[in-house]
Amino acid sequence: MKPLSRDALARMVALHLPDQGFVNLGIGAPTHVADYLPAGSGVMLHSENGVLNVGPKPQEGQEDWDLINAGKSPISLKRGGSYFDSSLSFAMMRGGHLDVAVLGAFQVSKDGDLANWTTGDNSTPPGIGGAIDLAVGAKSIWVMMDHATKEGRPRIVERCSYPLTARKVVTRIFTNLSILDVTVDGLVVRALHEDMTFAALQKMTEASLLASGTLGTIKQDGTVVA
Amino acid sequence: MRNVVVKDAEAAVEGIQDGQTVMVGGFGGAGLPTGVIKAVLDKGVRDLVVISNNAGSSGDDLSLWFGAKIVRKIICSYPRNAQQFAEQYRTGAVELELVPQGTLVERIRAGGAGLGGFLSPVGVGTVFAEGKEKITVQGREFILELPLRADFSFVKGQLADSLGNITYNKTARNHCAVMATAGETVAIEVDRIVDVGDLDPEAIVTPCIFVDRVYARSR
């Protein structure tokens, strides 16, 4: 049993993004989703420091340090891209203009509560950045993360033990083992890693899981077959 | 004719005093007025309250101010990877008010626009709502977020004319354009100063009415 690699997880998320959607990819692992967007998907990427229609990373030596993403890495601008100030950028987020925000997380609860900004460790100063604004504003909030911690503790829980970013906002969870939808009835498993069983997944998940009528199979490369 | 051009960064920070509140534009290095940061340090002022997105990382940014211990409090959203700040924070020498990034810029916008604050859904049900007034509008709960203003706003533009009209470069616009509306004294560092009339009126992001001082970075 080999969980999905980071790259395969990024591909799985990328393949689910809506064609021509306006999407924000959070800093860290979600940023890599951009590398797996299908050609011609028409997805337009927003970065909260003030740019719409983000293009690929420039070649070495071609970086412009006035053109960066929210992770402060150099980017390029696609044709039809635009720049704007932070106030307008966060209006796009809070105002519900983004179709999907993809965020990393420490924990997600069965109700879609999100904890992704601090573990409460006081040895380093906390930082919140723009993740909390995204979590409240985008039409759909997707989380991508490992299904459990390195020590095997569940991250998908009854109630988050870490400080919350926002309550009842996550709509879908992509993990290295599964795709789960947060519904009014509870967490529904939409797809499962090819080497996993439902029972094994439940064992790694604190919150109760519900089986979907049509369970997809997640291949090792992150593609999903019906 | 109005002319707000001053000769250098030292002149741009003229009059700054101990204990004042200072906004500093920039997200990472983009939009960061590095000449002004150095000039404030050289003035020898202390006990500053700083409003900025980050708390410096290394080199010619706000880490210089934390290294020199001239900041009493910082209001910011993401003071991570900031070694000098972190050292001061651990010893309790500097106070941190952590604000979500969008809330930070909108509080500044409210300050510059003469508003008494704004109602935000961000932070409801979290520690960011603690101690703040809650107001329900049309059945949805909001937090009252208060405006931010400063004695000085320091930002980085790309081009200025001598009237003080400003353009920005790409993502270096970030918080700068909003901070330029919310300082008692607004001083802007630019790459180059051009003749009045040479800026396309459609390209001017900060109209000169907001701007008190501009100076061109020496190359």
ipTM of the complex model: 0.96
Classify residue B154: in a domain, yes or no.
yes
Active-site residue flag, A48: yes
Place A88 in a pLDDT band, splitting at 50, 70 and 90.
very high
Asked if the C-beta of A136 comes within 8 angstroms of chain B's C-beta atoms, the answer is: yes
User: Could you tell me the residue ranges of all domains in chain A?
Assistant: 6-225
pLDDT tens, A39-83? 999 999 999 999 999 999 999 999 999 999 999 999 999 999 999
Tokens read off for B189: 């560092």
Asked if the C-beta of A93 comes within 8 angstroms of chain B's C-beta atoms, the answer is: yes
In angstroms, the CA B110 to CA A94 distance is 16
Contact across the interface for A86 and B178, Cβ inside 8 Å: yes
Asked if the C-beta of A48 comes within 8 angstroms of chain B's C-beta atoms, the answer is: yes
Place B115 in a pLDDT band, splitting at 50, 70 and 90.
very high
Classify residue B4: in a domain, yes or no.
no
Contact across the interface for B120 and A67, Cβ inside 8 Å: no
Identify whether the C-beta of residue A94 lies closer than 8 Å to the C-beta of residue A46: no
Cα separation values, B187 from B25, B62, B168, Å: 11, 17, 14
Contact across the interface for A124 and B122, Cβ inside 8 Å: no
In the block, residue with structure tokens 């420490």: A106
AA letter at B160: A
Element (H, E) at A54: strand A51-55
Cα separation values, A169 from A15, B9, B70, Å: 22, 46, 40
Classify residue B211: in a domain, yes or no.
yes
pLDDT tens, A160-187? 999 999 999 999 999 999 999 999 999 9
> How far is the alpha carbon of B121 from chain A, nearest alpha carbon, in Å?
7
* A-B contacts at Cβ under 8 angstroms: 133
Identify whether the C-beta of residue A19 lies closer than 8 Å to the C-beta of residue A43: yes
In angstroms, the CA B75 to CA B87 distance is 17
Asked if the C-beta of B106 comes within 8 angstroms of chain A's C-beta atoms, the answer is: yes
pLDDT tens, B42-86? 999 999 999 999 999 978 999 999 999 999 999 999 999 999 999
Nearest to B188 by CA among B201, B202, B204: B204
Distance from CA of residue B165 to its chain's centroid? 18
Identify whether the C-beta of residue B122 lies closer than 8 Å to the C-beta of residue A131: no
Identify whether the C-beta of residue B21 lies closer than 8 Å to the C-beta of residue B151: yes
Tokens read off for A210: 């519900």
Asked if the C-beta of A107 comes within 8 angstroms of chain B's C-beta atoms, the answer is: no
- Chain B segment 135-164 residues within 8 A of A by beta carbon are none
In angstroms, the CA A196 to CA A198 distance is 7
Identify whether the C-beta of residue B53 lies closer than 8 Å to the C-beta of residue B26: yes
pLDDT tens, A92-145? 999 999 999 999 999 999 999 999 999 988 788 999 999 899 999 999 999 999
Contact across the interface for A87 and B106, Cβ inside 8 Å: yes
Q: What is the domain extent for residue B156? A: 9-114+148-216
**pLDDT at position A38, please?**
93
Nearest to A224 by CA among A194, A202, A195, A201: A194
Classify residue B157: in a domain, yes or no.
yes
CB-nearest partner of B171 from A68, A165, A166 = A68
Classify residue B137: in a domain, yes or no.
no
Classify residue B178: in a domain, yes or no.
yes
Beta strands in chain A (DSSP E): 22-25, 44-47, 51-55, 76-83, 100-103, 107-109, 114-115, 140-145, 156-157, 170-175, 178-183, 186-193, 209-218, 224-225
Cα separation values, B41 from A86, B44, B81, Å: 27, 6, 21
In angstroms, the CA B123 to CA A166 distance is 7
When pLDDT is averaged across residues A198-214 and rounded to a whole number, the result is 95
Q: What is the mean pLDDT of chain B?
A: 97
Q: Which chain B residue shows the shortest CA-CA distance from A76?
A: B170
Enumerate the β-bridge partners of residue B24.
B154
When pLDDT is averaged across residues A11-25 and rounded to a whole number, the result is 98
- CATH number of the CATH domain containing B65: 3.40.1080.10
Q: Which positions in chain B touch A130 (Cβ < 8 Å)?
A: 77, 100-102
When pLDDT is averaged across residues A8-24 and rounded to a whole number, the result is 98
In angstroms, the CA B110 to CA A29 distance is 34
Classify residue B155: in a domain, yes or no.
yes
Q: Which of A48, A60, A63, A194 is an active site residue? A: A48
**pLDDT at position A131, please?**
87
Asked if the C-beta of B99 comes within 8 angstroms of chain A's C-beta atoms, the answer is: yes
Identify whether the C-beta of residue B200 lies closer than 8 Å to the C-beta of residue B45: no
Asked if the C-beta of A68 comes within 8 angstroms of chain B's C-beta atoms, the answer is: yes
> How far is the alpha carbon of B133 from chain A, nearest alpha carbon, in Å?
18
Classify residue B3: in a domain, yes or no.
no
pLDDT reading at A152 higher than 80: yes
Virtual torsion, Cα A80, A15, A64, A47, nearest 10 deg: 70
| CATH value of A6-225 in 3.40.50.1370, 3.30.390.10, 1.10.3720.10, 3.40.1080.10 | 3.40.1080.10
When pLDDT is averaged across residues B170-183 and rounded to a whole number, the result is 98
Place B219 in a pLDDT band, splitting at 50, 70 and 90.
low
- Cα atoms in the Cβ-side hemisphere of radius 13 Å centred on A162: 22
Identify whether the C-beta of residue B155 lies closer than 8 Å to the C-beta of residue B194: no
Place B127 in a pLDDT band, splitting at 50, 70 and 90.
very high
Nearest to B199 by CA among B161, B151, B153, B148: B161
> What's the domain count of chain B?
1
pLDDT tens, B148-167? 999 999 999 999 999 999 99
- Chain B segment 60-79 residues within 8 A of A by beta carbon are 77-79
**pLDDT at position B58, please?**
76
**pLDDT at position B150, please?**
98
- Chain B segment 168-207 residues within 8 A of A by beta carbon are 168-178, 205
Q: Which positions in chain B touch A48 (Cβ < 8 Å)?
A: 101-102
In angstroms, the CA A164 to CA B169 distance is 36
